Amino acid sequence: MFIQTDYTELKDEELLLKFRLGDAVARNELSVRYFRSRRFHLTRACPEFADLLDDWTYNEVFFRSYLLAESTFRLGEWRFIAYFQFILHREASREAKRILTERENLPCFSLDAVDPETNDSYLHELIPDNRPLNDPKAFCAYADALAKLGKLPQHLKPDDIEVVRRLAEGYSVEEVSEQMAIRPSNTRMMAYRFRKWAKGVIKSLGEVSEAERLLRKLQTS
């Protein structure tokens, strides 16, 4: 009886057939093959979104697309790579549309006084007036402390903190974007995430002094 030991030379469709016949090793070979080439598939299936989806988001889209393609592919009707890229294009398009819609609804950010003409939203407004913590940098320091303790919220990234720190130092969105080699729309998104988190911190801490608030939150997070 011949036992297959080398799967690297098998075509995608052959691996998928073997998997459906109960060969788990074949599935592992096929999934790893596609995962290693996941950026290639993105640039082939939907190059217009290659710079829009970050690695975290794209990995989610990739796995969702791959599992859907694996479970619904019909042998003999498509090449598996073409079928997968068809699904990937659809799923990536949906995710891109969601991201772009979210960005369109983002407020602008500044650390200057509120502009009555544009009614922009400002980062410093999330700290109560006439309190010791009336500087957004205080929340940057707090976030840094959480990061060192491994307790930074999962949705908040170190780069988000760095963006806000630079905005607090007086740099414009465009300047921060250039310094960190990111798009202005991403800079606004990162500031928005930080601002949303900081407002939640204030809301959850209750009526205690500002210094006690940060200490208590740090100890119980």
d(CA 117, CA 152): 36
The pLDDT confidence band at residue 204, using thresholds 50, 70 and 90, is low
d(CA 197, CA 153): 9
Q: What are the pLDDT digits (tens) for 141-197?
A: 777 777 777 777 888 888 888 888 888 777 888 888 899 999 888 888 888 888 878
**pLDDT for res 127:** 47
Amino acid at 118: T
Higher per-residue pLDDT: 56 or 115? 56
**For residue 13, what are the CA distances in angstroms to 3, 30, 100, 147?**
18, 9, 36, 45
**pLDDT for res 130:** 42
**pLDDT for res 189:** 86
CATH class of the region 12-104: mainly alpha
Q: Where are the domains of the chain?
A: 12-104, 123-220
Report the chain's mean pLDDT, rounded to a whole number.
76
Which of these, 147, 144, 151, lies nearest to 220 by C-alpha position? Answer: 151
Q: What are the pLDDT digits (tens) for 15-55?
A: 999 999 999 999 999 999 999 998 899 888 888 877 778 78
Q: Spell 94-125 as b/e; 16+ CB within 10 A means b.
A: ebbeebeeeeeeeeebbbeeeeeeeeebbbbe
Which of these, 183, 10, 34, lies nearest to 18 by C-alpha position? Answer: 10
The pLDDT confidence band at residue 97, using thresholds 50, 70 and 90, is confident
Report if pTM > 0.75: no
d(CA 201, CA 151): 14
* pLDDT of 89 higher than 70: yes
Token reading at 114: 């509120």
